[in-house]
């Protein structure tokens, strides 16, 4: 995919499930959290995003989840962000929540025309935790490139990546920033990530085929960051979708992201 074609990506839904609407039980209820360690649908330790850095970032106004504009009509987010039947406004280009001028960055608002959830997604296991939203109009904002060729498969431990979102700034609180945040974390290899969950209640949930991990001391995605992008700055490409984690910035457990290259192969 050439950068010059980013505004005219064609979408093929393939065999994806059409959600009109979805009525499955919520993620947290499905995971029976009262009998487990706390898992969060997860920016801790981050900074304000400069104007124009991620014009394609999308905020799901009713849930606080994030998303990524990947064509003029489609937004990519987490499937578990769509685990209800009430949907609001998709704010493409969101940068400042409580500023009518959006901190001088262009923003466009849309409702959903159609919602497609990956057919292999289940709230119990969180595999292929991705959904595509077809907007009720066409955005004039330049979309992001996403990893359809498996670039993330070549990553080595320690590679710099950036989760982006409006999630809480401190674990255990409900305070969300008014300004979009990003934070630099490091890629964690599949082997190391798999090993980190061995012996925990979540050993059976992490699957390297459809998930990837990233972590740095005191830095992580957190509550309300779900669905947002995991961005590779050096290659100017989104490689993952914020999915889940145990706590936020937990020293023993990395953050987990849906691996785009294995979950969104239908996008052409």
Active site residues: 80, 129, 226
Tokens at 26, concatenated: 């919520």
Report the C-alpha gap between 70 and 58 in whole angstroms.
10
115: left (phi over 0), alpha (psi -120 to 50) or beta: beta
Asked if 9 contacts 265 with a C-beta cutoff of 8 angstroms, the reply is no
Report the C-alpha gap between 211 and 130 in whole angstroms.
11
Tokens 């009525």 — which residue? 23
Helix runs in the chain, H state only? 27-30, 190-197, 260-263
Tokens at 233, concatenated: 């700055």
φ, ψ of residue 110 in degrees (nearest 5): -140, 160
Q: What angle do CA 216, 217, 220 make, to 5 degrees?
A: 60
Tokens at 28, concatenated: 């947290």
Report the C-alpha gap between 182 and 103 in whole angstroms.
16
Tokens at 29, concatenated: 């209820």
Tell me 100's DSSP state.
T
Give the CA diameter of the chain: 50
């Amino acid at each position: 995919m050439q950068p010059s074609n980013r505004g005219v990506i064609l979408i093929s839904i393939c065999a994806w499930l059409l959600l009109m609407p979805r009525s499955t039980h919520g993620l947290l209820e499905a995971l029976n959290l009262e009998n487990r360690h706390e898992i969060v649908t997860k920016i801790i330790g981050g900074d304000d995003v400069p104007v124009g850095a991620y014009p394609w970032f999308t905020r799901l106004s009713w849930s606080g989840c994030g998303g990524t504009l990947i064509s003029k009509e489609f937004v990519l987010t987490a499937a578990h962000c769509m685990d209800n039947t009430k949907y609001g406004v998709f704010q493409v280009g969101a940068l400042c929540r409580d500023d009518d001028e959006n901190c001088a960055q262009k923003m466009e608002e849309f409702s959903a025309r159609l919602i497609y959830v990956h057919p292999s997604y289940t709230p119990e296991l969180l595999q292929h935790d991705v959904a595509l939203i077809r907007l009720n109009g066409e955005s004039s904002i330049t979309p992001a490139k996403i990893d359809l060729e498996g670039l993330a498969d070549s990553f080595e431990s320690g590679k710099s990546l950036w989760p982006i979102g409006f999630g809480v700034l401190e674990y255990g609180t409900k305070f969300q920033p008014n300004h979009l945040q990003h934070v630099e974390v490091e890629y964690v290899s599949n082997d190391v990530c798999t090993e980190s969950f061995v012996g925990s209640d979540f050993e059976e949930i992490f699957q390297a085929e459809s998930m990837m991990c990233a972590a740095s001391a005191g830095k992580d995605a957190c509550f309300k960051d779900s669905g947002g992008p995991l961005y590779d700055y050096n290659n100017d490409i989104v490689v993952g979708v914020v999915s889940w984690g145990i706590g936020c910035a937990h020293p023993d457990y990395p953050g987990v992201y849906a691996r785009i290259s294995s979950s969104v192969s239908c996008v052409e």
